Structure 1
Amino acid sequence: MTNTAEQLEHASGVFVDNICAGGAPIQLVLHNDGKTTLGFVVRLLREVFDKQERDAIALAELVLQHGKAVCGRYPPSVAKALLEAAQERIRAEGCPLLITGEAAGEADGPDLSDVQFEYAFEALEWHFTNIPPSELATTVRQFPGHMQADVQVAIDKLFADPVRFFGAYAEHRYETLSFARMKRRGRNAISLVPPQYHQVDTGETAPVKCLYNGLWLCRASEFFYAVVLSTEFEFKQEPRIRIEIVAPAGSGGEAFVQRSFDELERAVHAARSYRGKILSFEKGADYSGRSRGIMVHRLAPVRREDVILREQAIKLLDRNVLSFVATRGALRRFGQSTRKGILLYGPPGTGKTHTIRYLATNLPGHTTLIITAEEVGELSAYMALARLLQPTMVVIEDVDLIASKRDDLTTCEEAALNKLLNEMDGLKEDADILFVLTTNRPEQLEGALAGRPGRIDQAIEMPLPDTTGRDKLIRLYGMGLPLEAEIVAETVRRTEGVSAAFIKELMRRIAQSCIARDGGNSVTTADIEEALDDMLFTGGRLNVKLLGGAGAMAAGSE
């Protein structure tokens, strides 16, 4: 539409008279009149509105394409001054270009964020207009894939206000997207796409949205810079998060890049996403659809009174774990080591795993790493995480599977054992790391682990429960049942030599029996008889062994 000089002056006059009436920000909008040249609009934007040449060209093209474009958002007094300066240039040029002011948020024209790019090289050329490639420097850092949640949170904070942000498409899974790769043209050009995220479970209510590949085009106070994030995949290896910052060479750009990476490093070392939680590496399927290189275990707290062990075992546990952790600071001041190794040993089903759950949910400020025997190949990664997240408790269950006698080990098992011994030996004396190992077969443990000082500082036997222990276990696992004192006493007598796991299953079967008999209103000797018969006799010797009740067969046959 062609605007007459009278229309132009009237619109401008009304705007100038009313621009300061309110305090809300004003958006200045350039309109296409069909006559004003592109060159004049570009010069006007550069000289009056102080736009970079690439931004001036982009805005002028938006005016041509869409009929108008939003030039910027300004305080009323600044908008008035800019408009008056622009109108003076327009009158001097003798062109009918129209610029209007509208309340912020009401202008419906496109702005610089609407400049469209199909390929990464186009966006980078636009962003670094008039900056030769030889004057740019790139710096790269790589972070472990399992720390991606903390890296993402830090990046979102550092680069929260980019000029433009894009997702980037990697055609091949093992292709690393770098700045140099994004500069390619032709059939190998990298396409810009909507950002692709995957959700990472960190044990909180909401997962963390983590980006696969992204490109940030940003502006610091004195220069433009770019950030490239890519996920590096290697065959059978954990993915890595690659961050590349591109900035002008020189002290200003170098200092900015160093500050940015320092902030990222601090975020990773703080590890807020995982610190104080119970963790393990996870490679299997996750049916929630979320990604989790690290699995966060949500364990219900275990109360002190629910840990039913013999008195000697309880005292050793308190002194060597809970009291030890509480006095670490004082021990360090006296020059004493703050690392420790504990071995829990005893028959299956005696409460070793239950005790670990108690420690994991009751050690203040500690992160717990749970390592099964088949995961010991990941021990180096686990220990790197343990050092990062100190204070930590590192749990290795069924350690006898990898630390048995050397003559019985395969080559792979011996390598795993050596790795474990080296990690336990290699910790600094002031490392706040507690090793808790468990075994059902202490006699099978390799002498290098069981006998060498400094690796295992205390072995705690967890035997089958005694009379007092069985009484407590029966009441604990039968707390919802109407148990009379004589029924408890009878059950205690009939369960000599069984494990805690056996008693837990026994109480479930007694509950099932009394529910079937009278709806659970009472527990009788017949319920005990039925449950013990199924567990100790009807199923045969294998069933007895599986349930941990071999020691009760004689008592059950009386």
Structure 2
Amino acid sequence: MTDPKLDPSTFGASFQAFLEQMAAQAPAQEPEIRRRIREHLGGDPAQMPVVSEQFAKYEHPNLHLALQAYLGQPEREAELFGITSTHEMFTARLSQLAAPRSAMPGAGIDVGPVEYVNLPLDQGRVIACVRSGVHLVRRGEQRLVVYVSASAGWRESLTLEVMAAERAEAEAVLAEVRNTMRARSIYRGHVISLEQPQQGTIDVRFHRLPAIGKDEIILPQGLLERIERQAVRFAELRGELRAMGRHLKRGMLLHGPPGTGKTLTAMYLAGQMPDRTVILLTGRGMGLIEQSCALARLLEPATVILEDVDLVAEERTRQCAGSNAVLFELLNQMDGLSDDADILFILTTNRPDILEPALAARPGRIDQALEVPLPDEGCRRRLFELYGRGLELRLSQLDAFVARTKGVSAAFLRELLRKAALFAADEGAGRVVEDRHIDTALRELAVEGGKLTQSLLGASAMSE
């Protein structure tokens, strides 16, 4: 008969227990990563301090470049190796990499290839940045371990960790890298905006503004000079103003009917101050006011342009709860900046009458409100010339057209000349635009287009 104590299931369990006992008694093999770190530092890494700092995902290119600058200093040498894990979502900390294998059972961490990721720069360029890698750094007798790790998933993070014999050494490395990131930021001096493609992640997008000449800004006499004085001249004289104890933080509100050139003027100002970082707050970026202002402080001198502020700064009685939060954040951030912060806020609105009184009038938020009105007779004549560039205007009734377009915006006149050019081209007249083309275009936009077209083109005040 078969002994019940020796049935297959009992035997299997006993044999497994035997193997586990033998494995436990066998000498533990030191992990390869720990061995490399230990030999590099010349001591037990589990007993050495680690100082870490987290950065926003969009700072990855700056961190990579700053670290390369640090590692590239004279007499400093570094060896780089990568980390691999059997768990895709697991990102080990430096203290775990330096610990015995028993400190992270089942993690499957080992030496592997260095991971790089291509990240966007301005003008369509990209840079390959280390996504996960360990630098064994030496300079003379000093030994350091610098670990870069970027975690994936729904909430991406970027971490830099430094291990050294003394905590002060590790802190000094982080401070130097941080200062270099700020001084050499890839965003400094560019036009950027912030976007949030998913919860917990912020991306920075580069923009290229069109080159706008001063002769393209058609405003009443003296208005552009006042605007430039508050923005451009202020920036040019910031050194003298600071020496005189004047604060540099300032805000400008450009208000007026739709289509009068407020946004165009703001873009022109940005182009006249190329040494400043320009941060655009539009669309999805409206919910990132705190982060945008923090970036402006980091990259000052900076200009923050917020278009159509009336969409987020209406009277509380006309808003939903979500819009109020955006307004309060804008006010808080403007108030929270120190007076010597060289940050210019340019806000535009079509509806100054419904703006929050504190935003429109209180000192420290908006210093000057400037109206950009509908073009007067002289401005309309200049706009015909401006938007007629590239065309051969043969107009015997220009004075009549200028008079008939009283109450229209610059945007309306721009579309009028484009529509007239379309009619001329459709007739086979080439670039020659005559009175009948302007007359037909004006009738189609102002009469046949109806009130909605007039409103869309900023011609609601046009007299029939």
TM-score of the superposed pair, with normalisation by structure 2 = 0.84
Return 536-545 or 424-433, whichever deviates more. Answer: 536-545
Deviations 1:140-182 (A, max 9, x none): 1222222221111011232354234225458344x44311343
Residue identity in the other structure for 1:125:
R
For 1:54-453, what aligned pairs fall within 5 Å after superposition?
A: 121-129=31-39, 131-159=43-71, 161-169=77-85, 171-173=87-89, 175-182=90-97, 183=99, 184=101, 187-204=106-123, 206-222=125-141, 224-232=143-151, 235=154, 239-247=156-164, 249-250=165-166, 254-284=167-197, 293-372=203-282, 374-453=284-363
**136 and 351 in structure 1: CA distance in 2 versus 1, 3 angstrom threshold:** same
Task: State the partner residue of 1:480.
Answer: 390
CA distance, structure 1, for counterparts of residue 267 and residue 138 of structure 2? 50
**170 and 361 in structure 1: CA distance in 2 versus 1, 3 angstrom threshold:** farther
| Residues 141, 242 of structure 1: 8 Å contact kept | yes
Task: State the partner residue of 2:421.
Answer: 511
CA shift for structure 1 position 200 = 2.5
CA shift for structure 1 position 376 = 3.1
Computing the radius of gyration over CA atoms, which structure comes out larger, 1 or 2? 1
Deviations 1:39-78 (A, max 9, x none): xxxxxxxxxxxxxxxxxxxxxxxxxxxxxxxxxxxxxxxx
| Residues 402, 414 of structure 1: 8 Å contact kept | yes
Give % identity: 34
CA distance, structure 2, for counterparts of residue 120 and residue 213 of structure 1? 22
Residue identity in the other structure for 1:403:
A
Deviations 1:506-540 (A, max 9, x none): 21111111111124142112211222232222233
Match of 1:456, SS state, is: coil
Deviations 1:406-442 (A, max 9, x none): 2223332222222211111122111111111111111
CA shift for structure 1 position 351 = 0.5
**547 and 191 in structure 1: CA distance in 2 versus 1, 3 angstrom threshold:** farther
**133 and 195 in structure 1: CA distance in 2 versus 1, 3 angstrom threshold:** closer
CA shift for structure 1 position 332 = 1.5
Q: Which runs of 5+ in 2 are unaligned?
A: 1-28
Asked if 1:537 corresponds to 2:438, the answer is no
Deviations 1:77-135 (A, max 9, x none): xxxxxxxxxxxxxxxxxxxxxxxxxxxxxxxxxxxxxxxxxx99413313413632344
Residue identity in the other structure for 2:175:
D
For 1:21-36, what aligned pairs fall within 5 Å after superposition?
A: none
CA distance, structure 2, for counterparts of residue 240 and residue 171 of structure 1? 17
Return 342-351 or 136-145, whichever deviates more. Answer: 136-145
Aligned residues: 424
CA distance, structure 2, for counterparts of residue 121 and residue 349 of structure 1? 67
Q: Which runs of 5+ in 1 are unaligned?
A: 1-118, 286-290
Match of 1:162, SS state, is: strand
